[in-house]
Amino acid sequence: MRLLVRPRARGIALAAAVVVLALNACTGRDPVSRGKVRAFDTSFDITLIGVSRERAAQATELLTSDFETMERAWHAWKPGPVTRMNELFNAGSEPFTAPPSVMPILRLARQLSLQSDGLFNPAIGHLVRAWGFQGRSTDCLRPPPQSVIETAVNANPGMGDIQIDGLRVSSSNAMVKLDFRHIQLGFAIDQAIARLQEMDINNASIVADGAVRAIGSRGGNAWSVSVPGPDGGGILATLRIEGNEAAFTLAPSRDGFTWEGRRFHDVIDPRTGYPAEGITSVTVLHPNASTAEAAANALFVAGPDDWPRVARLMGLRYVMLTDDQGRLLMNPAMQARVTLHTHNREVIISEPLT
Protein backbone atom coordinates (compact mmCIF):
# COMPACT_ATOMS: atom_id res chain seq x y z
CA MET A 1 0.00 0.00 0.00
CA ARG A 2 1.58 3.27 -1.09
CA LEU A 3 0.94 6.37 0.99
CA LEU A 4 1.18 9.37 -1.28
CA VAL A 5 1.84 12.99 -0.37
CA ARG A 6 -1.42 14.90 -0.04
CA PRO A 7 -2.28 17.61 -2.56
CA ARG A 8 -3.69 20.94 -1.37
CA ALA A 9 -6.60 21.76 -3.67
CA ARG A 10 -10.00 20.36 -2.75
CA GLY A 11 -13.07 20.02 -4.96
CA ILE A 12 -16.56 18.57 -4.63
CA ALA A 13 -16.90 16.01 -7.42
CA LEU A 14 -17.56 12.48 -6.27
CA ALA A 15 -17.52 9.10 -7.92
CA ALA A 16 -17.52 5.56 -6.60
CA ALA A 17 -16.46 2.18 -7.88
CA VAL A 18 -16.10 -1.27 -6.41
CA VAL A 19 -13.94 -4.13 -7.61
CA VAL A 20 -13.93 -7.55 -5.93
CA LEU A 21 -10.83 -9.60 -6.57
CA ALA A 22 -11.68 -13.07 -7.85
CA LEU A 23 -10.18 -15.60 -5.45
CA ASN A 24 -10.60 -19.34 -5.66
CA ALA A 25 -12.95 -20.42 -2.86
CA CYS A 26 -10.96 -23.58 -2.21
CA THR A 27 -7.92 -21.57 -1.16
CA GLY A 28 -9.65 -20.58 2.06
CA ARG A 29 -8.54 -16.97 1.65
CA ASP A 30 -10.91 -14.14 2.48
CA PRO A 31 -12.11 -12.11 -0.51
CA VAL A 32 -10.55 -8.68 -0.97
CA SER A 33 -12.89 -5.91 -2.13
CA ARG A 34 -11.58 -2.58 -3.32
CA GLY A 35 -13.62 0.58 -3.71
CA LYS A 36 -12.77 4.13 -4.73
CA VAL A 37 -14.57 7.32 -3.71
CA ARG A 38 -13.75 10.74 -5.11
CA ALA A 39 -14.12 13.61 -2.62
CA PHE A 40 -12.20 16.67 -1.36
CA ASP A 41 -10.59 16.69 -4.84
CA THR A 42 -8.78 13.44 -4.10
CA SER A 43 -9.40 9.69 -4.19
CA PHE A 44 -10.17 7.59 -1.14
CA ASP A 45 -9.06 4.01 -1.78
CA ILE A 46 -11.04 1.54 0.30
CA THR A 47 -9.94 -2.05 0.91
CA LEU A 48 -12.33 -4.46 2.62
CA ILE A 49 -11.34 -7.97 3.73
CA GLY A 50 -13.83 -10.82 3.97
CA VAL A 51 -16.72 -8.83 2.51
CA SER A 52 -19.01 -10.02 -0.27
CA ARG A 53 -19.44 -8.12 -3.52
CA GLU A 54 -22.92 -6.98 -2.48
CA ARG A 55 -21.86 -5.70 0.95
CA ALA A 56 -18.79 -4.01 -0.54
CA ALA A 57 -20.98 -2.16 -3.05
CA GLN A 58 -23.35 -1.12 -0.27
CA ALA A 59 -20.50 0.10 1.93
CA THR A 60 -18.95 2.13 -0.88
CA GLU A 61 -22.30 3.68 -1.75
CA LEU A 62 -22.82 4.75 1.86
CA LEU A 63 -19.30 6.17 2.12
CA THR A 64 -19.82 8.10 -1.10
CA SER A 65 -22.89 9.77 0.38
CA ASP A 66 -21.10 10.44 3.68
CA PHE A 67 -18.05 12.01 2.02
CA GLU A 68 -20.26 14.21 -0.15
CA THR A 69 -22.17 15.46 2.90
CA MET A 70 -18.99 16.17 4.86
CA GLU A 71 -17.36 17.99 1.99
CA ARG A 72 -20.32 20.30 1.49
CA ALA A 73 -20.52 20.99 5.24
CA TRP A 74 -16.86 21.85 5.80
CA HIS A 75 -15.91 23.75 2.65
CA ALA A 76 -13.98 26.88 3.65
CA TRP A 77 -14.84 29.23 0.79
CA LYS A 78 -17.78 27.92 -1.22
CA PRO A 79 -21.30 28.66 0.08
CA GLY A 80 -22.16 26.37 2.97
CA PRO A 81 -22.24 26.07 6.77
CA VAL A 82 -18.59 27.00 7.42
CA THR A 83 -18.63 30.07 5.17
CA ARG A 84 -21.84 31.26 6.88
CA MET A 85 -20.22 30.78 10.30
CA ASN A 86 -17.18 32.76 9.15
CA GLU A 87 -19.44 35.61 8.02
CA LEU A 88 -21.05 35.71 11.47
CA PHE A 89 -17.68 35.55 13.24
CA ASN A 90 -16.31 38.40 11.10
CA ALA A 91 -19.40 40.49 11.77
CA GLY A 92 -18.76 40.21 15.50
CA SER A 93 -22.19 38.76 16.07
CA GLU A 94 -23.79 37.57 19.25
CA PRO A 95 -23.72 33.80 19.88
CA PHE A 96 -25.51 31.86 17.16
CA THR A 97 -26.62 28.29 16.59
CA ALA A 98 -24.00 26.43 14.59
CA PRO A 99 -24.94 23.73 12.07
CA PRO A 100 -24.82 20.26 13.68
CA SER A 101 -22.79 19.03 10.68
CA VAL A 102 -19.90 21.30 11.71
CA MET A 103 -19.94 20.91 15.50
CA PRO A 104 -18.00 17.60 15.82
CA ILE A 105 -15.06 18.76 13.71
CA LEU A 106 -15.17 22.22 15.31
CA ARG A 107 -15.00 20.80 18.84
CA LEU A 108 -12.14 18.44 17.98
CA ALA A 109 -10.23 21.11 16.06
CA ARG A 110 -10.51 23.50 19.00
CA GLN A 111 -9.29 20.83 21.44
CA LEU A 112 -6.31 19.84 19.29
CA SER A 113 -5.39 23.46 18.61
CA LEU A 114 -5.23 24.22 22.33
CA GLN A 115 -3.18 21.06 22.94
CA SER A 116 -0.71 22.11 20.23
CA ASP A 117 -0.07 25.51 21.85
CA GLY A 118 -1.88 27.08 18.89
CA LEU A 119 0.51 25.79 16.22
CA PHE A 120 -2.32 23.80 14.64
CA ASN A 121 -4.69 26.70 14.04
CA PRO A 122 -7.76 26.32 11.79
CA ALA A 123 -8.80 29.90 12.70
CA ILE A 124 -6.29 31.54 10.30
CA GLY A 125 -8.50 31.32 7.23
CA HIS A 126 -7.85 35.00 6.44
CA LEU A 127 -4.13 34.24 6.09
CA VAL A 128 -4.81 31.15 3.98
CA ARG A 129 -7.09 33.24 1.77
CA ALA A 130 -4.52 36.04 1.48
CA TRP A 131 -1.93 33.54 0.26
CA GLY A 132 -4.41 32.30 -2.37
CA PHE A 133 -4.72 28.74 -1.09
CA GLN A 134 -8.51 28.70 -1.16
CA GLY A 135 -9.41 27.54 -4.65
CA ARG A 136 -7.18 29.77 -6.78
CA SER A 137 -4.89 28.32 -9.43
CA THR A 138 -1.29 28.17 -8.27
CA ASP A 139 -0.23 29.50 -11.68
CA CYS A 140 -1.28 33.01 -10.71
CA LEU A 141 -0.29 33.14 -7.05
CA ARG A 142 2.20 35.44 -5.41
CA PRO A 143 2.94 36.36 -1.76
CA PRO A 144 0.43 38.81 -0.28
CA PRO A 145 1.50 42.34 0.71
CA GLN A 146 3.40 42.52 3.99
CA SER A 147 0.72 44.84 5.41
CA VAL A 148 -1.95 42.18 4.89
CA ILE A 149 0.15 39.55 6.65
CA GLU A 150 0.93 41.89 9.54
CA THR A 151 -2.75 42.78 10.01
CA ALA A 152 -3.74 39.11 10.21
CA VAL A 153 -0.85 38.13 12.51
CA ASN A 154 -1.35 41.08 14.86
CA ALA A 155 -5.03 40.18 15.24
CA ASN A 156 -3.82 36.76 16.47
CA PRO A 157 -6.96 34.74 15.68
CA GLY A 158 -7.05 31.36 17.40
CA MET A 159 -9.40 28.53 18.21
CA GLY A 160 -9.36 29.68 21.84
CA ASP A 161 -11.28 32.78 20.68
CA ILE A 162 -14.25 30.55 19.88
CA GLN A 163 -16.71 29.89 22.69
CA ILE A 164 -18.90 26.78 22.45
CA ASP A 165 -22.01 26.27 24.58
CA GLY A 166 -23.93 23.28 23.31
CA LEU A 167 -24.78 24.23 19.72
CA ARG A 168 -24.30 27.94 20.41
CA VAL A 169 -20.99 29.42 19.30
CA SER A 170 -19.40 32.85 19.20
CA SER A 171 -15.98 34.41 18.67
CA SER A 172 -14.31 37.16 20.67
CA ASN A 173 -12.04 37.90 17.69
CA ALA A 174 -13.54 39.19 14.44
CA MET A 175 -10.50 37.94 12.50
CA VAL A 176 -11.34 34.29 13.19
CA LYS A 177 -12.03 32.51 9.92
CA LEU A 178 -12.30 28.72 9.94
CA ASP A 179 -10.43 26.58 7.43
CA PHE A 180 -10.30 22.88 8.33
CA ARG A 181 -7.85 21.90 5.58
CA HIS A 182 -5.36 20.35 8.03
CA ILE A 183 -7.84 18.10 9.84
CA GLN A 184 -10.77 17.45 7.51
CA LEU A 185 -9.22 14.62 5.50
CA GLY A 186 -8.34 12.66 8.64
CA PHE A 187 -11.70 13.45 10.25
CA ALA A 188 -13.55 12.22 7.16
CA ILE A 189 -11.55 8.97 7.19
CA ASP A 190 -12.32 8.44 10.89
CA GLN A 191 -16.03 8.88 10.19
CA ALA A 192 -15.80 6.43 7.29
CA ILE A 193 -14.09 3.80 9.46
CA ALA A 194 -16.81 4.25 12.08
CA ARG A 195 -19.41 3.67 9.35
CA LEU A 196 -17.70 0.44 8.31
CA GLN A 197 -17.59 -0.76 11.90
CA GLU A 198 -21.31 -0.02 12.24
CA MET A 199 -21.77 -2.39 9.29
CA ASP A 200 -19.75 -5.04 11.18
CA ILE A 201 -16.83 -4.68 8.76
CA ASN A 202 -13.77 -5.02 10.99
CA ASN A 203 -10.87 -5.64 8.58
CA ALA A 204 -10.39 -2.68 6.27
CA SER A 205 -8.22 0.25 5.28
CA ILE A 206 -8.87 3.67 3.77
CA VAL A 207 -6.04 5.56 2.07
CA ALA A 208 -6.13 9.13 0.71
CA ASP A 209 -3.20 11.42 -0.09
CA GLY A 210 -0.98 11.22 2.94
CA ALA A 211 -3.50 9.52 5.21
CA VAL A 212 -4.25 5.90 5.99
CA ARG A 213 -6.35 4.32 8.68
CA ALA A 214 -6.62 0.56 9.05
CA ILE A 215 -8.61 -1.75 11.30
CA GLY A 216 -8.14 -5.44 11.95
CA SER A 217 -5.72 -7.21 9.64
CA ARG A 218 -5.15 -8.08 6.01
CA GLY A 219 -5.83 -11.80 5.96
CA GLY A 220 -4.17 -12.23 9.35
CA ASN A 221 -1.20 -10.03 8.43
CA ALA A 222 -0.55 -6.54 9.75
CA TRP A 223 -1.21 -3.62 7.43
CA SER A 224 1.81 -1.62 6.31
CA VAL A 225 2.30 1.71 4.59
CA SER A 226 5.13 3.08 2.44
CA VAL A 227 6.16 6.69 3.03
CA PRO A 228 7.77 8.50 0.09
CA GLY A 229 10.61 10.96 0.43
CA PRO A 230 9.67 14.59 1.17
CA ASP A 231 10.08 15.51 -2.50
CA GLY A 232 7.76 12.67 -3.53
CA GLY A 233 10.52 10.55 -5.06
CA GLY A 234 11.49 7.10 -3.83
CA ILE A 235 10.40 5.27 -0.70
CA LEU A 236 11.70 6.75 2.53
CA ALA A 237 10.35 4.13 4.93
CA THR A 238 7.75 1.45 5.62
CA LEU A 239 5.57 1.61 8.73
CA ARG A 240 3.64 -1.16 10.44
CA ILE A 241 0.01 -0.40 11.16
CA GLU A 242 -1.06 -2.40 14.18
CA GLY A 243 -4.73 -3.10 14.80
CA ASN A 244 -6.82 0.06 14.75
CA GLU A 245 -4.37 2.81 13.82
CA ALA A 246 -3.76 5.70 11.46
CA ALA A 247 -0.71 7.24 9.83
CA PHE A 248 -0.53 10.68 8.28
CA THR A 249 2.32 12.18 6.27
CA LEU A 250 2.46 15.89 5.53
CA ALA A 251 5.00 16.86 2.86
CA PRO A 252 3.88 19.97 0.97
CA SER A 253 7.04 20.66 -1.08
CA ARG A 254 5.45 19.63 -4.39
CA ASP A 255 2.44 21.87 -3.85
CA GLY A 256 2.11 25.61 -3.59
CA PHE A 257 3.80 28.02 -5.97
CA THR A 258 7.15 29.56 -6.87
CA TRP A 259 7.69 33.31 -6.82
CA GLU A 260 11.01 34.97 -7.68
CA GLY A 261 12.85 31.69 -7.28
CA ARG A 262 11.39 30.82 -3.86
CA ARG A 263 8.91 28.03 -3.14
CA PHE A 264 5.85 28.75 -0.97
CA HIS A 265 3.53 26.06 0.42
CA ASP A 266 0.26 26.24 2.35
CA VAL A 267 1.43 25.15 5.82
CA ILE A 268 1.23 28.62 7.32
CA ASP A 269 2.93 29.45 10.61
CA PRO A 270 0.28 31.48 12.50
CA ARG A 271 3.04 33.29 14.42
CA THR A 272 4.68 34.77 11.32
CA GLY A 273 1.98 34.60 8.65
CA TYR A 274 4.43 32.90 6.27
CA PRO A 275 4.84 29.25 5.27
CA ALA A 276 6.60 27.30 8.00
CA GLU A 277 10.33 26.64 7.55
CA GLY A 278 12.83 24.06 8.72
CA ILE A 279 10.83 20.86 8.14
CA THR A 280 10.11 19.16 4.81
CA SER A 281 7.89 16.26 5.96
CA VAL A 282 6.21 14.90 9.08
CA THR A 283 4.75 11.44 9.68
CA VAL A 284 2.60 10.71 12.73
CA LEU A 285 1.12 7.39 13.86
CA HIS A 286 -1.95 7.66 16.08
CA PRO A 287 -5.13 5.70 16.86
CA ASN A 288 -7.17 8.18 14.78
CA ALA A 289 -6.47 9.98 11.54
CA SER A 290 -7.88 13.32 12.74
CA THR A 291 -5.27 13.72 15.45
CA ALA A 292 -2.51 12.37 13.21
CA GLU A 293 -3.27 15.01 10.56
CA ALA A 294 -3.62 17.93 12.98
CA ALA A 295 -0.48 16.86 14.83
CA ALA A 296 1.53 16.61 11.60
CA ASN A 297 0.54 20.20 10.84
CA ALA A 298 1.51 21.38 14.34
CA LEU A 299 4.89 19.62 14.27
CA PHE A 300 5.65 20.96 10.79
CA VAL A 301 5.10 24.47 12.16
CA ALA A 302 7.03 23.75 15.38
CA GLY A 303 10.19 23.03 13.43
CA PRO A 304 13.26 20.83 14.04
CA ASP A 305 14.00 22.16 17.54
CA ASP A 306 10.56 22.49 19.12
CA TRP A 307 8.75 19.42 17.77
CA PRO A 308 9.41 17.17 20.82
CA ARG A 309 7.76 19.70 23.16
CA VAL A 310 4.68 19.98 20.96
CA ALA A 311 4.52 16.21 20.47
CA ARG A 312 4.44 15.76 24.24
CA LEU A 313 1.75 18.42 24.63
CA MET A 314 -0.40 16.50 22.13
CA GLY A 315 0.27 13.13 23.75
CA LEU A 316 1.94 11.65 20.66
CA ARG A 317 3.84 8.36 20.76
CA TYR A 318 5.19 7.93 17.21
CA VAL A 319 6.75 10.75 15.17
CA MET A 320 9.18 10.95 12.24
CA LEU A 321 10.31 14.13 10.49
CA THR A 322 12.75 15.21 7.79
CA ASP A 323 14.32 18.65 8.09
CA ASP A 324 15.55 21.02 5.41
CA GLN A 325 19.07 19.61 5.83
CA GLY A 326 17.85 16.16 4.84
CA ARG A 327 18.15 14.68 8.33
CA LEU A 328 15.65 12.19 9.74
CA LEU A 329 14.35 13.00 13.22
CA MET A 330 12.30 10.51 15.23
CA ASN A 331 11.60 9.27 18.73
CA PRO A 332 12.68 5.78 19.90
CA ALA A 333 9.16 4.31 19.74
CA MET A 334 8.84 5.32 16.09
CA GLN A 335 12.31 3.92 15.38
CA ALA A 336 11.01 0.52 16.53
CA ARG A 337 8.04 0.72 14.14
CA VAL A 338 9.77 1.92 10.98
CA THR A 339 11.92 0.21 8.37
CA LEU A 340 14.07 2.77 6.56
CA HIS A 341 14.77 2.44 2.84
CA THR A 342 17.42 5.12 2.71
CA HIS A 343 21.07 4.94 3.77
CA ASN A 344 22.25 8.44 2.92
CA ARG A 345 20.41 10.42 5.61
CA GLU A 346 21.64 11.29 9.06
CA VAL A 347 19.21 9.84 11.63
CA ILE A 348 18.72 11.67 14.93
CA ILE A 349 16.83 9.88 17.71
CA SER A 350 15.20 12.16 20.29
CA GLU A 351 14.55 11.48 23.96
CA PRO A 352 11.44 9.33 24.53
CA LEU A 353 8.17 11.23 24.22
CA THR A 354 6.40 9.32 27.00
Segments forming the whole domain that contains residue 115: 81-171
Q: How far is CA 281 from the centre of its chain?
A: 13
Q: Is residue 100 a part of any domain in this protein?
A: yes
Q: Is residue 336 a part of any domain in this protein?
A: no
Q: Is residue 94 a part of any domain in this protein?
A: yes
Res. 140: pLDDT tops 90: no
In tens, the pLDDT along 287-324 reads 999 999 999 999 999 999 999 999 999 999 999 999 99
Res. 14: pLDDT tops 50: no
Q: Is residue 260 a part of any domain in this protein?
A: no
Res. 2: pLDDT tops 70: no
CATH number of the domain residue 86 falls in? 1.10.3980.10
In tens, the pLDDT along 202-252 reads 999 999 988 999 999 998 999 999 998 887 778 999 999 988 999 999 999
Its pTM stands at 0.91
Q: How far apart are CA 275 and CA 144, in angstroms?
A: 12
Is the model more confident about 137 or about 71? 71
Q: Is residue 134 a part of any domain in this protein?
A: yes
pLDDT for 16 equals 40
Q: Is residue 150 a part of any domain in this protein?
A: yes
Would you call 96 helix, strand, or coil by DSSP?
strand
The overall average pLDDT reported for the chain is: 90
Q: Is residue 317 a part of any domain in this protein?
A: no
Q: Is residue 191 a part of any domain in this protein?
A: no
Region of 59 on the Ramachandran plot (φ > 0 left; ψ -120 to 50 alpha; else beta): alpha
pLDDT for 7 equals 36
Specify the number of domains making up the chain. Answer: 1
Res. 6: pLDDT tops 50: no
Q: How far apart are CA 297 and CA 281, in angstroms?
A: 10
pLDDT band per the 50, 70, 90 thresholds, residue 286: very high
Q: DSSP letter string over 257-274?
A: EEETTEEE-S-B-TTTSS
Is the model more confident about 14 or about 252? 252
% of the chain with per-residue pLDDT over 70:
92
Query: Which contacts (CB < 8 Å, 24+ apart) does range 54-57 have?
Result: 55/199, 55/201, 56/18, 56/20, 57/18
